[in-house]
Amino acid sequence: MSSPRTILHADMDAFYAAVEQRDHPEYRGRPLIVGGIGKRGVVSTASYEARRFGVHSAQPGAIAQQLCPGGIFVQPRMSAYVEASRQIRAIFERFTPQIEPLSLDEAFLDVTGSRLLFGDGREIARTIRERVFEETELTISIGVASSKYVAKVASDLEKPNALVVVEPGTERAFLRPLSVSRLWGAGKRMQELLDGHGIRTIGDVQDIGRATLEALIGAHAGQHFWSLAHGEDVRDVVADRDAKSISHETTFEDDLDDPEAARAVLLSLAEGVGRRLRAHGLVATTVRLKLRYPPFETLTRQQRLDVPSDDDRVLHRVGVQLLDAVDRGSGIRLIGIGASGLRPASGVARQGSLFREGPDPRKAGAALRAMDAINERFGSDSITHAGTKLTRSEDGAERSRRRPH
């Protein structure tokens, strides 16, 4: 019988805000809000000082200003966060090649094959945390477990700057006292539905039969939550090089009803996907939109591109078209955009067309790569798309498959 896996979920603490406080000493110890600027601004990240006032990711900036009138609002500096993320990724790679990035500030690591070299999961996580702080002056929280779900719950439990280890065989006991809000996909409406049946903790879910739970909340949701409550999650960590698609998602603490805010969040996610495509020398042939509504309805739409692309503006434009075509009867709990049908960019002709609107794809591709290089070198938003500065101040948290951090 094989030994249990060792999975790490590594999550930077209030990442964007932490980078700003690191680079601007005058912000330290003060409530700092990244994003949320402008009439339709959406908070990207709030420092822990701001969170004490009730400010959180994906919150309309106007509400954040009411809750925290003394807060400092700053525009996101995406390339500064990309550079910090690149440094952190390099630290991860010293311990394992099995890294599944979820966004700039969050990743799963499978260190099962690294234990003989670097020690058990606790020791590896401890060393990673030390290296990250020494080399970036940023803190990171890490959960260690035998599955992705339990590791993710563990990393969030004692934030910030935490290390939580769940030993194999103790998963059910670890999860038992936690609120059902810790179950992936259990938004406020699902929590209210469960509460109506007297189900308030994960232990309550463990104690109820699966068939009974499915009868109460539906077969799909019931099976999903029952499995998670028992710590059952067999999904593998999928490294970038093995991925068949690249996607970014974000889950909102409060359901998002504003279409303009949804488009702004989608732009932030598309930028992240585009950067990863270009970093790996890939282009996509298909764009995929993912939406989740409470209590547990997931909708996906996809569209094939006329010309394979790594341009985040193309990804965003198609994503918005798919979004606008959806009949949204309720607020959005999760939104994501993905790129699939990946192929090497070197094998794709970037051919312009006299009849196609927009810039010549060859020139656009060269410009994007030049922008990536300039921003990487100088560590700030030295050069951006026209009109992107304002939009970036209205983006949502660039966080895949996650709750707001």
Beta-sheet strand order (sheet of 99-103): 99-103, 106-110, 7-12, 140-145, 163-165
Instruction: Name the active-site residue from 106, 171, 271, 398.
Output: 106
* SS3 assignment, position 256: strand
Backbone dihedral angles phi then psi of residue 88, each to the nearest 5 degrees: -70, -40
Report the alpha-carbon distance of residue 294 to residue 291 in Å, rounded: 10
Q: Establish how many alpha carbons lie within 13 A of residue 163's alpha carbon, considering only the half-sphere containing its beta carbon.
A: 11
- Paired tokens of 98: 């099995």
The residue ranges of DSSP E strands in 236-375, in sequence order, are 245-256, 282-293, 297-309, 332-340, 343-344
In 3-state terms the chain splits into helix, strand, coil percentages (rounded to 5) of: 45, 20, 35
Q: Establish how many alpha carbons lie within 13 A of residue 19's alpha carbon, considering only the half-sphere containing its beta carbon.
A: 24
Nearest Cα to 101, choosing from 278, 272, 257, 260?
Answer: 272
CA angle 338, 290, 359 (to 5 degrees): 45
Report the alpha-carbon distance of residue 188 to residue 191 in Å, rounded: 5
Q: Is residue 212 left, alpha or beta, with left meaning phi > 0 and alpha meaning psi from -120 to 50?
A: alpha
Backbone dihedral angles phi then psi of residue 235, each to the nearest 5 degrees: -65, 140
Partners of 337 in beta bridges: 248, 289
Under 8 Å between Cβ of 370 and 363:
no
Establish whether 106 is a catalytic residue: yes
- Paired tokens of 252: 């909102």
Nearest Cα to 143, choosing from 5, 10, 4?
Answer: 10
Catalytic positions are 106
